[in-house]
Amino acid sequence: MSTRDQLLFTYGTLRDEDVQLDTFGRLVDGDDDELVGYVLGDAPIDDPRVIELSRSALHTIAIATGNDADRVPGTALWISEDELASADDYEVAIYRRVQARLASGRTAWTYVSA
């Protein structure tokens, strides 16, 4: 088993139990945190697998503002490198994975507007 040393911040469907079970093969406990310098927008999804799994064709997407007062609430998850790759496979092309600062002071991977 690989170590769980990757911190992934999620504010959307990766917090859903069904999505976690499909993506990571397990439920992942996490800590509440906030993504600094972003706001949420709507993201229409057209990938049938993602729509079926998440039960929605409209997801949220983090959009950078550069304003530290803007915050997106979510959950910081400790996952393995393999699980991070699985999250990459789950996210559609309108998202890109970046490292970003959280309100807790930690840096985490997260998916934002491409």
- Asked if pLDDT for residue 1 goes beyond 60, the answer is no
pLDDT tens, residue by residue, 12-47: 999 999 999 999 999 998 999 999 999 999 989 898
Tokens of 92: 């559609």
pLDDT tens, residue by residue, 55-91: 999 899 999 999 999 999 999 999 999 999 999 999 9
Residue 69: the pLDDT is 98
Q: With H, G, I as helix, E, B as strand and everything else as coil, classify residue 31.
A: strand
Residue 107: the pLDDT is 98
DSSP string, the chain: -----EEEEESSGGGSHHHHHHHHSS---EEEEEEETEEEEEEE---HHHHHHHT-SEEEEEEE---TT-EEEEEEEEE-HHHHHHHHHHS-TTEEEEEEEBTTS-EEEEEEE-
Domain extent listing, the chain = 6-113
User: Has domain 6-113 been given CATH number 3.10.490.10?
Assistant: yes
- Asked if pLDDT for residue 2 goes beyond 90, the answer is no
Tokens of 61: 């997407």
